[in-house]
């Protein structure tokens, strides 16, 4: 509760007639002793798993350090558009000083808030705009999905992988590309089929798509940015392997769970909140991966052969210390042209804007 | 076992009519108290955030007007069809097509300036919605294809068309492959009506459409023909009123209104074409139309009520930390209580003789 109701307020709230009193009883001006109000806005429900859940968990972890000095408000299921703009404005008007805009579609509205309120720090998921008090943040999922690709190739009997993916934005395309590149490290002929759902959260469509992929002989399914465990539980039911991003869904597939590319945002949120409170926050593009302790691969399936596990661990260590990037040439594009020349590594900027598929992805990009 | 029967009252008393919404509100509020107690949220904070806060500041009140605009436009168009028993459930798709057609101008002419741009966009939007609805009308008249199904399915097609454009030809070239168009230039945005808010000129249009709808329904012969066709199809046929004409007219009016709303949304608060241009306005407007008793003046009030409920629900999440599911439960129970109360304004329970002995 941001505004504690006093007795006068209480009566005002109870009777519809005394609207005017309620105006006078709005939030008081902030004093230094006031707790830091943090608001998280996300496009899907917080639920028990998935993207929103990972963001919320991380904020809760940071809150544990601050106790009463920090308060979190979660606003869930918010369409990307005028509604989100209003809600973020409302949150800031009620005293929010640290805003986490949890979807790329909130970009324009969140940026306007940052410009109009220099004392508010805004973290924005998956975008590309930067301002002194506005940082876009994204996970380098590709580092984790590359490792998953290696495991998937070792376990796939058909040589066909599948993915149920949300939107064909660079972040997700990159995850898929790294997944295929990792798999090709083990089996050069492996292929990937993708179903684009155009939704972060659609349990029914996610299930149907998993069935469709299984019917096309795909025997490892990548649940790409789905905030529902539907893909994972469906894969278990069919008896094929699956993995997902953000938070572990092992409970939904105890037998055929390949693992989870987990995101732990708490190191990033903690650093940002500390900087905000110290008054030295500096907006910058935060593209965080295994080396930042933000991306972690956990809950590996026990079925992965020991020699592949050893290889995975080796690559993981090389990614963490920065000596290896999944996007090192030669990489061929799906259309047969050259994507990255031999020996060249794509820059972060190039990876963030990646809008083409690597060779081995059989489904063309939408549009 | 005997059950009581609902019997139409001969006269609905005025005091009961006025009391009904408040009784509904009280019942919904009371029934939700238990829920809030169970999840540990202060119920007074919730009611304040949901029912009072939206009206207590200029800005949040203006947001209700902003939200009510598209609901009002679409619902007025739909209600005309519903009265004629032509069930256009696909306003969502017509809204999307309106938004797409309006966006064509700023997408293809991002540098253009001039006062002609936004009015032309609104006209394009209207034509887009109209064209999309005409597909439904054509198949209904031609093959007697059910207009509920056709219009609903066309909504999903419209969304796929939107996705195609945003991921392909209309994608912002500077937008890192994100599915959205360029931001519209200044002249492609509707003039702001209330300074300092996002309420734009489309609210005036919505009110004019309301006036026009009232005139059409109450005063015009075309409206009368439609109404007779809905109430007594055989009588309408006997009188020589064309049934296919009624279908065409109903769907085209509904489509044009929804298309106009879609255009006003992209040229208004959104300012670009993107995936989530509609937050389900096309479907919510169906509820608005029926809540307003399919009457132009009633719809004026019901669109305002629905908008206030939406804004209040968002407030409850921000200020009272209520989870979205509980917000939906409150809104749902309020609508349910209101519909029940409204039923009892016009009807009463009559127990069969002897059953209560």
Domain boundaries, chain B: 75-292
For the question of whether the overall pTM of this predicted structure is more than 0.90, the answer is: no
Residue B201 tokens, joined? 């000129």
pLDDT band at A173 (very low <50, low <70, confident <90, very high): very high
Torsion of CA A101, A107, A109, A111, to 10 degrees: 90
3-state helix, strand, coil in chain A (%, to 5): 40, 20, 40
Has residue A202 been placed in a domain? yes
The percent of residues in chain A predicted with pLDDT above 90, rounded, is: 73
**Type and span of the H or E element at B75:** helix B58-83
List C-alpha distances in Å: A270 to A110, A246, A274, A343.
20, 18, 6, 37
The whole-number pLDDT of residue B356 equals 52
**What does the buried/exposed string (b/e) look like for A230-241 if buried means 16 or more CB atoms within 10 Å of the residue's CB?**
bbbbbbbeeebb
Closest in B45, B317, B325 to A5, CB measured: B45
Has residue A363 been placed in a domain? no
Has residue A358 been placed in a domain? no
The reply to whether A196 and A226 lie within a common domain is yes
- Residue B74 or B29, more confident: B74
The reply to whether A307 and A332 lie within a common domain is yes
Q: Which of A109, A107, A135 is nearest to A121 (CA)?
A: A135
The mean of the pLDDT values for chain B is 89
CATH classification of the domain holding A315: 3.40.50.2300
Q: How many structural domains comprise chain A?
A: 2
The whole-number pLDDT of residue B355 equals 52
A106 touches chain B (CB under 8 A): no
The DSSP symbol for A80 reads: T
The reply to whether A92 and A126 lie within a common domain is yes
Chain B CB contacts of A9 under 8 Å are 48
The whole-number pLDDT of residue B1 equals 63
The reply to whether A245 and A128 lie within a common domain is no
Closest in B59, B178, B314 to A83, CB measured: B314
Asked whether the beta carbons of B116 and B227 are under 8 A apart, the reply is no
What are A86-128's pLDDT values in tens digits? Answer: 899 989 988 999 999 999 889 989 999 999 999 999 999 988 8
As for the ipTM of the complex, it is: 0.74
Compute the count of residue pairs across chains A and B with CB atoms less than 8 Å apart.
131
The reply to whether A190 and A94 lie within a common domain is no
- Which of A60, A83, A86 to mutate: most B Cβ within 10 Å? A86
Q: SS3 for B17?
A: helix
Query: What is the pLDDT averaged over residues B140-154?
Result: 95
The reply to whether A185 and A217 lie within a common domain is yes
Residues B52 and A16: their CA atoms lie apart, in Å, by 7
B168 touches chain A (CB under 8 A): yes
Determine whether the interchain pair B276/A105 forms a contact, defined as Cβ–Cβ distance below 8 Å.
yes
Residue B352's Cβ-side half-sphere holds a number of Cα atoms within 13 Å equal to 6
Determine whether the interchain pair A86/B57 forms a contact, defined as Cβ–Cβ distance below 8 Å.
no
Determine whether the interchain pair A79/B279 forms a contact, defined as Cβ–Cβ distance below 8 Å.
yes
What are B13-38's pLDDT values in tens digits? Answer: 778 877 887 888 888 888 888 888 88
Domain of A47 in residue numbering reads as 7-139+265-292
Determine whether the interchain pair A108/B164 forms a contact, defined as Cβ–Cβ distance below 8 Å.
no
Determine whether the interchain pair B274/A94 forms a contact, defined as Cβ–Cβ distance below 8 Å.
no
The reply to whether A40 and A172 lie within a common domain is no
């Amino acid at each position: 509760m941001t505004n504690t109701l006093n007795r006068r307020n209480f009566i005002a709230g109870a009777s519809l007639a005394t609207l005017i009193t309620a105006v006078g009883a709005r939030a008081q001006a902030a004093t230094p002793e006031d707790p830091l109000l943090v608001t998280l806005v996300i496009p899907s429900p917080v639920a028990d798993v998935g993207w929103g859940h990972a963001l919320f968990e991380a904020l809760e972890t940071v809150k544990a350090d601050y106790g009463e000095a920090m308060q979190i408000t979660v606003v869930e299921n918010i369409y990307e558009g005028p509604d989100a703009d209003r809600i973020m404005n409302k949150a800031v008007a009620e005293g929010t000083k640290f805003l986490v805009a949890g979807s790329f579609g909130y970009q324009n509205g969140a940026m306007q808030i940052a410009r109009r309120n220099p004392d508010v720090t805004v973290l924005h998921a998956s975008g590309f705009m930067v301002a002194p008090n506005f940082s876009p943040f994204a996970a380098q999922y590709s580092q984790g999905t590359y490792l998953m690709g290696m495991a998937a190739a070792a376990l796939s009997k058909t040589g066909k992988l599948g993915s149920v993916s949300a939107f064909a934005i660079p972040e997700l395309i990159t995850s898929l590309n790294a997944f295929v590149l990792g798999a090709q490290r083990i089996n050069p002929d492996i292929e990937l089929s993708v179903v684009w759902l155009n939704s972060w959260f659609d349990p029914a469509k996610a299930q149907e798509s998993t069935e469709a992929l299984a019917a096309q002989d795909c025997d490892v399914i990548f649940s790409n940015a789905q905030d529902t465990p539907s893909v994972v539980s469906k894969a278990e039911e069919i008896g094929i392997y699956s993995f997902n991003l953000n938070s572990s869904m092992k409970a939904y597939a105890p037998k055929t769970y390949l693992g989870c590319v987990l995101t732990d945002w708490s190191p990033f949120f903690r650093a940002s909140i500390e900087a905000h409170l110290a008054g030295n926050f500096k907006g910058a593009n935060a593209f965080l991966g295994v080396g930042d302790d933000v991306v972690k691969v956990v809950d590996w399936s026990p079925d992965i052969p020991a020699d592949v596990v050893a290889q995975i661990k080796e690559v993981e260590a090389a990614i963490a210390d920065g000596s290896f990037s999944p996007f090192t040439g030669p990489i061929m594009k799906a259309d047969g042209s050259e994507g990255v020349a031999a020996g060249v590594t794509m820059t972060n900027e190039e990876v963030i804007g990646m809008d083409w598929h690597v060779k081995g992805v059989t489904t063309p990009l939408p549009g | 076992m005997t059950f009581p029967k609902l019997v139409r009252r001969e006269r609905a008393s005025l005091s009961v009519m006025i009391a009904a919404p408040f009784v509904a509100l009280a019942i919904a509020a009371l029934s939700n108290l238990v829920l809030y107690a169970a999840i540990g949220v202060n119920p007074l904070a919730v009611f304040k955030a949901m029912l009072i806060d939206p009206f207590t500041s200029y800005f949040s009140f203006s947001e209700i007007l902003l939200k009510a605009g598209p609901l009002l436009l679409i619902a007025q168009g739909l209600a005309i069809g519903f009265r004629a028993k032509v069930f256009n459930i696909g306003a969502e798709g017509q809204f999307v097509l309106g938004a797409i057609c309006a966006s064509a101008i700023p997408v293809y002419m991002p540098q253009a300036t001039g006062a002609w741009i936004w009015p032309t966009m609104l006209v394009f939007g209207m034509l887009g919605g109209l064209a999309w609805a005409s597909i439904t009308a054509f198949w209904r008249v031609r093959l007697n294809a059910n207009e509920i199904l056709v219009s609903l399915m066309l909504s999903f097609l419209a969304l796929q068309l939107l996705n195609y454009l945003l991921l392909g030809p209309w994608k912002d070239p500077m937008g890192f492959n994100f599915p959205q168009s360029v931001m519209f230039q200044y002249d492609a945005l509707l003039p702001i009506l209330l300074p300092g808010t996002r309420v734009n000129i489309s609210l005036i249009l919505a009110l004019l459409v309301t006036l026009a709808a009232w005139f059409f329904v109450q005063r015009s012969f075309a409206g009368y023909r439609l109404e007779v066709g809905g109430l007594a199809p055989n009588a309408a046929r006997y009188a020589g009123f064309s049934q296919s004409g009624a279908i065409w007219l109903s769907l085209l009016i509904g489509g044009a209104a929804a298309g106009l709303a879609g255009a006003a949304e992209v040229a208004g608060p959104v300012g670009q074409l993107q995936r989530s241009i509609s937050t389900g306005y096309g479907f919510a407007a169906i509820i608005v139309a029926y809540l307003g008793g399919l009457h132009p003046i009633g719809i004026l009030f019901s669109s305002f009520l629905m908008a206030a409920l939406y804004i209040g629900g968002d407030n409850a999440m921000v200020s009272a930390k209520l989870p979205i599911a509980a917000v939906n439960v409150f809104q749902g129970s309020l609508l349910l209580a209101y519909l029940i109360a409204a039923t009892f304004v016009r009807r009463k329970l009559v127990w069969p003789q002897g059953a209560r002995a």
